[in-house]
């Protein structure tokens, strides 16, 4: 499954930057409409270490009304949480009607990290697939919009990002020994991820795999996916789109950037000799 994902996909930075304000404004309008219509939503991020989940979430929430969403960075369960059914701690974070809950990692850790690192017995993580599907179905039946992302990068790209982070004194703390341990088990994680995607991709909670090698492509895909899902949930109650479609601005910016690149290449040629390729 994951080997078929085209990780070379890119989107021009200038086009993305021109499109970003319109995407953020549209998402804000939809957030307000969901609040008015009492429609709760869950936006869930899973993915490889250093795939860009944190920066994507920061961009996504930069222009949202902070009163209308909550961000939940999920860590390993605390001691007192282990004294309850495993989904209990996530039930406490379910959004109220009209609110948006954003999860930086989630209940899927049960069938990913806990599985691969052997932190949970096999019988327990296998039962978790059924628990997760039932959990999400119950939320969807109560009109919660569930949007799930998996940010995918290659093993080679992950290694490159780890080394780049470690070389920066201000960012080195992001890379911990366990991150390198997960990296060494990349292939084992691939097996767990593919089974997770296959067994928990449902009509009410579909997965969106995000090609995350290029940050601009990844963030744009995330915005467009969320906007489309919220518009669908709101139906006729969705606010009208802006007068100019955000894609038109992006396409114009893309054409401009291509033209500038062509002109720069022509200028660099100078002597009139063109290369072949």
Domain span at 85: 2-260
**The CATH number of the domain where 217 resides is what?**
3.40.50.300
268 in a domain, yes or no?
no
pLDDT score for 243: 72
Alpha-carbon 25 to chain mean position:
19
Please check whether residue 272 lies inside any domain of the structure: no
Per-residue pLDDT, 50: 96
pLDDT in tens, 34-49: 999 999 999 999 999 9
CA 147 – CA 139 distance, rounded (Å): 12
> Within a domain: residue 265?
no
127 falls within a domain: yes
233 part of a folded domain? yes
CB 41 within 8 A of CB 230: yes
* Tokens matching residue 205: 């909670």
- Report pTM: 0.87
Kindly calculate the radius of gyration of the chain based on its CA atoms and give it in whole angstroms.
21
Residue 78 pLDDT: 95
User: HSE of 29 in the Cβ direction (CA atoms, 13 Å)?
Assistant: 15
Cβ neighbors of 165 (< 8 A, separation 6 or more) are: 50, 171, 172, 174, 175
Number of structural domains in the chain: 1
In terms of DSSP bridges, do strands 145-152 and 207-211 run parallel, antiparallel, or are they unpaired?
parallel
The torsion angles phi and psi of 143, rounded to 5 degrees, stand at 70, 25
Q: Is residue 107 part of a domain?
A: yes
Distances (CA, A) of 105 to 140, 185, 233: 19, 19, 24
Question: Which residues, other chains included, contact 32 with Cβ-Cβ below 8 Å and sequence gap of 6+?
Answer: 65, 68, 239
Judge whether 145 and 230 are in contact, CB under 8 Å: yes
- Find tokens 């327990």 and name the residue: 124
Phi, psi dihedral angles at 211 (to 5 degrees): -75, 105
Q: State residue 192's pLDDT score.
A: 98
Kindly give the confidence (pLDDT) of every residue in the chain, 277 residues in length, as a single tens digit, with 9 standing for 90 and above: 899 999 999 999 999 999 999 999 999 999 999 999 999 999 999 999 999 999 999 999 999 999 999 999 999 999 999 999 999 999 999 999 999 999 999 999 999 999 999 999 999 999 999 999 999 999 999 999 999 999 999 999 999 999 999 999 999 998 999 999 999 999 999 999 999 999 999 999 999 999 999 999 999 999 999 999 999 999 999 999 877 654 555 555 555 665 565 565 566 554 443 344 4
Confirm whether 266 is domain-assigned. Answer: no
Taken as a whole, the chain contains a residue count of 277
Report whether 147 contacts 229 (CB < 8 A): yes
| pLDDT computed for residue 264 by the predictor | 59
Flag whether 236 is in a domain: yes
Which pLDDT score is estimated for 11? 97
* pLDDT value at residue 244: 63
Residue 221 in tokens: 């895909």
Instruction: Answer whether 110's CB lies under 8 Å from 128's CB.
Output: yes
């Amino acid at each position: 499954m994951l080997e078929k994902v085209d990780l070379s996909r890119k989107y021009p930075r200038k086009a993305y930057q021109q499109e970003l304000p319109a995407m953020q404004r549209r998402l804000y309008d939809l957030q307000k409409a969901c609040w008015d219509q009492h429609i709760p939503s869950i936006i869930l991020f899973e993915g490889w270490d250093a795939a860009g989940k944190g920066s994507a979430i920061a961009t996504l929430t930069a222009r949202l009304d902070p009163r209308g969403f909550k961000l939940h960075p999920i860590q390993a369960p605390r001691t007192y949480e282990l004294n309850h059914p495993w989904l209990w701690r996530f039930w406490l974070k379910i959004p109220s009607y009209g609110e948006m809950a954003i999860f930086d990692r989630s209940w899927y850790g049960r069938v990913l990290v806990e599985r691969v690192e052997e932190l949970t017995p096999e019988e327990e993580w296998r039962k978790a697939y059924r628990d997760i599907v039932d959990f999400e179905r119950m939320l969807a039946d109560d009109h919660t919009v569930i949007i799930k992302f998996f940010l995918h990068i290659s093993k080679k790209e992950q290694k490159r990002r780890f080394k780049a982070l470690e070389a920066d004194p201000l960012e080195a703390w992001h890379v911990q020994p366990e991150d390198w341990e997960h990296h060494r088990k990349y292939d084992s994680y691939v097996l767990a991820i593919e089974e997770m995607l296959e067994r928990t991709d449902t009509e009410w909670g579909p997965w969106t795999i995000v090609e995350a090698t290029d940050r601009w492509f990844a963030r744009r895909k995330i915005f467009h996916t969320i906007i489309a899902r919220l518009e669908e949930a709101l139906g006729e109650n969705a606010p009208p789109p802006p007068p100019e479609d955000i894609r038109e601005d992006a396409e114009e910016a893309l054409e401009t950037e291509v033209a500038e690149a062509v002109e720069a290449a022509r200028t660099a040629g100078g002597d009139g000799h063109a290369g072949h390729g």
